[in-house]
Amino acid sequence: MSSERDITATSRGLIERNTIGPVPADERNGSALGLVGIWLGVNMLPLTVVTGGLATTLFALPFWWGVLAIVLGNVIGGVLMALHASQGPSLGVPQMLQARGQFGSRGAALIVVVATVMFMGFYISNLVVGSQSLSSVFPSISTNAAIGLALVVSMGVMVIGLRLIKLLLTVSAIVIGTLVVLALAKIVSDGVPASVLQQGGLTATGFFSMLAVGAVWQIAYAPYVSDYSRYLPAGVGSRSAFWGTFAGSLLSGVLMMAFGALLGALSSTGDPILGIDETTGSLATTILMAFALSSMLGNAGNVYCATLTTLTLVENVRPGWIPRARGRLVTSFALLLLGAAVALVATDNFLADFTSFITILLYVLIPWSAINLIDYFLIRHGSYDVASFFERDGGRYGQWNIVALAVYAVGLAVQVPFAVLPQYVGPVATSLHGVDLAWVVGLVVSGGLYYAVAARGRDTSTLSGAHRPFDELAAN
């Protein structure tokens, strides 16, 4: 392959030049503790608060039942998400590029497109909520102007790349986490009426819907967790990558969502963001400003991952092409502008639209997650030929894995009768009074079916290819 040396070509300078190629061993650094800081910061966003607020607003659960659903959902989704993160130190490539090992170089494109839409969806959602936070502090700044400001800030972060994103996420974790703890202390010291915590009613529909929201919040990170953990030295190990990612994301996700659920219950409008102003007194301005800034800075992470998936799609058309910094920046800026344009025309029904978005996202991601985890841990036991990911014919994995694609299609189809969406409620879900179990069915069926067919048809010459070291790619 003529461009194999380009795969590992990087710069020692400030601006990141690694894109979708394997990270060379001599450029790997960091620790599990560093991952904890990153994933604590990832969730320190107003969008996480808004999502947690669904428990006591849209789903009308009593506060403590809402918190229980949040915790269980985040634990379940967090385990699945962190298992994907454990693949990063071993393979050293972005998460979605690994999908070629299961679906083939061409077949993986479908999953990569889904991931790209997801990253952009979260980018746009953060733009909307972050700009609303800024406008609430400075009414003279319109939502559109706030979106424009966020765009400029994110562009500045994207120029440097992942190194700056990691630093900002860790700092955000410290600042936002401290402010939220202070806000909770203020709310508790002022006294929370028992009637507020007990308002609403426990229903199976509300409880399992919120559990699903918590799960999808974590599972939605699965398509890019290795984008962060791929820089860890291979010697750090999968176990450290798992626990660092799981601990950071679970702690911050539960904290911010529980904060949102409490604000939703206390707010006179049912809006968690407006509830900050109503309940935290003089802290409100500082919190909202910090939220707005964290959205602007941290949102670069969503675009960074969307950039990697977009470049992965382009490489499908130009096999062996591994872009450097220029290709990453051009792609990033185009995606930033596209997302900002969509955010500018976001409707007033944003919250309802966002809820539908993350529910559909869960249905689509679950079969991929099940197939990836079964293939990595039970079929190939982490042994992949990374060089094959960049070969024109797909190398050991070919261009199309019809078995994996068929299982993915089945995984989607079996969820339809169980689906619960504003536009459609499946017949089984209707008989269960709106309880959403589609994602559970999709996970079990996709994982079980893939294991059955892949294990039976296993050919060690293609399924368990020797894992060629990263530096060997540059030496060939």
The CATH number of the domain holding residue 16 is: 1.10.4160.10
For residue 445, is it within any domain? no
CA 428, 430, 433, 435 torsion-angle sign: positive
- pLDDT of residue 476 exceeding 70: no
**H-helix or E-strand containing 361?**
helix 350-373
CA 355, 117, 420, 63 torsion-angle sign: negative
Neighbours of 139 (CB within 10 A): 7
For residue 214, is it within any domain? yes
Query: What is the domain count for the chain?
Result: 1
SS3 category, 62: coil
Name the nearest CA neighbour of 169 among 36, 266, 78: 36
97-106, 273-282, 381-390, 402-411 — which one is most confidently predicted on average? 402-411
For residue 206, give its domain range: 4-359
Residue type, 303: V
For residue 439, is it within any domain? no
Give the CA angle between residues 267, 269, 270 to the nearest 5°: 65
The encoded tokens of residue 8 equal: 């590992």
Name the nearest CA neighbour of 385 among 398, 376, 396, 370: 396
For residue 42, is it within any domain? yes
For residue 420, is it within any domain? no
pLDDT digits 0-9 by tens, 148-177:
888 888 888 888 887 888 888 899 899 999
SS3 category, 221: coil
- pLDDT of residue 356 exceeding 90: no
For residue 429, is it within any domain? no
Give pTM, 2 decimals: 0.84
Name the nearest CA neighbour of 315 among 456, 105, 468: 105
For residue 379, is it within any domain? no
Q: Flag the least confident range among 2-11, 41-50, 438-447.
A: 2-11
What distances in angstroms separate CA 248 from CA 48, 169, 235, one per listed residue? 14, 11, 21
* Whole-number average pLDDT of the chain: 84
pLDDT classification of 245: cutoffs 50, 70, 90: very high
Q: Are 78 and 246 in contact (CB under 8 A)?
A: yes
**Residue pointed to by tokens 């009613």:** 201
pLDDT classification of 102: cutoffs 50, 70, 90: very high
- In the Cβ-directed half-sphere of 462, how many Cα atoms lie within 13 Å? 16
Task: Measure the CA–CA gap between 424 and 435, rounded to whole angstroms.
Answer: 13
Alpha helices in 24-87 (DSSP H): 32-42, 46-53, 63-85
Give the CA angle between residues 74, 212, 71 to the nearest 5°: 30
348, burial (CB in 10 Å: exposed 0-12, middle 13-18, buried 19+): exposed
Residue partners of 349: CB distance under 8 A and separation at least 6 = none
What residues form DSSP beta bridges with 425? 420
Mean pLDDT of all residues in 389-410: 90
- pLDDT of residue 374 exceeding 80: yes
Task: Measure the CA–CA gap between 97 and 311, rounded to whole angstroms.
Answer: 10
pLDDT classification of 9: cutoffs 50, 70, 90: very low
Name the nearest CA neighbour of 29 among 305, 176, 236, 247: 236
The encoded tokens of residue 412 equal: 């989607």
For residue 368, is it within any domain? no
Q: Are 89 and 244 in contact (CB under 8 A)?
A: no
Task: Measure the CA–CA gap between 58 and 248, rounded to whole angstroms.
Answer: 27
